[in-house]
Amino acid sequence: MRKTIPASASIVTLFIVAPIFLLRADTIYQATADGRQRVIQRDAILIHQDSSVVIYKHFDLPEMRVEKVQLAEGSLPYTVTTSPLQQRQSIVELWKRFGYTASVTDTSGKTTAVFDAYIDYYPPGGRGSLLVAVPAITAFPLLMSSGEADVQEFSKLNRVDFQGGGITLTLTNGKVEHGKYLMPTTQPAEVRFLGITDKYNPSSDEVFDFSEPLSHLKSIVFQQ
């Protein structure tokens, strides 16, 4: 999901524990009315810039995932200080430390380590753009066998198992819940589990390189 305004939160406050070489990535500035430059976002990676728009990605701490931000150029222009590829790779490695990490096994038995994991919604079959009216989440909404609805944040999950269209959530406190995925929309939609892997290219236009429908998964084991 792309934001159209810059997020106010970042992981800058957490950088005091990181090696200094990790602190260098792209920085977005905007001119002020009195001619100075104010920082809009540090520790970002620029995706695109032209005379009308600036698009970048960064780790959004409240959302616990990597997000795109789009800024429209106006009377007070934006400038970007970019960094070499090696430094961009370093910031991606830092992002991976703060998001949710999971071992994802698909129905073929292949297991992939996924970082900065989240769930988002696409048209059926994954064709076309994501459903922008439905926000991405880092939680599992479940319609339980009892008929009650529940939403469990990734932070409270030990594992998720999929079988025959049903879902079993095992929480970190040992509690187990059974049910079906509770869709947040009446529109036809495909639920996908997304994130970045060790092969993620910092220069990618996307904020993920792993994207699989829940229907193709056997299990998700979170690292808490």
Do 34 and 136 share a structural domain? no
How sure is the predictor about 34, in pLDDT bands with cuts at 50, 70 and 90? very high
How sure is the predictor about 24, in pLDDT bands with cuts at 50, 70 and 90? low
Q: Please tell me what DSSP assigns to residue 17.
A: G
Q: Which of 98, 132, 154 is the last residue of a domain?
A: 98
Do 12 and 56 share a structural domain? yes
Report pLDDT for 224: 82
Q: If DSSP codes are grouped into helix, strand and coil, which group holds residue 127? A: coil
Do 79 and 130 share a structural domain? no
Average pLDDT over all residues of the chain: 88
Do 184 and 93 share a structural domain? no
Do 218 and 110 share a structural domain? yes
Do 69 and 146 share a structural domain? no
Q: Which of 13, 26, 1 is nearest to 92 (CA)?
A: 26
Per mean pLDDT, which range of 63-77, 117-131, 171-185 is the poorest?
117-131
Q: Which of 69, 98, 127 is the last residue of a domain?
A: 98
Do 179 and 82 share a structural domain? no
Q: Which of 98, 117, 142 is the last residue of a domain?
A: 98
pLDDT above 50 for 194: yes
The total number of structural domains that make up the chain: 2
Can you give the residue range of the structural domain that contains 55?
Answer: 2-98
d(CA 206, CA 66): 10
Do 211 and 105 share a structural domain? yes
Do 51 and 119 share a structural domain? no
- Cβ within 8 Å of residue 6, ≥6 positions away: 28, 40, 41, 69, 71
Report pLDDT for 9: 40
pLDDT above 70 for 18: no
Per mean pLDDT, which range of 58-67, 92-101, 127-136, 162-171 is the poorest?
127-136
Do 79 and 157 share a structural domain? no
Do 206 and 219 share a structural domain? yes
Do 90 and 124 share a structural domain? no
Report pLDDT for 12: 42
d(CA 104, CA 113): 6
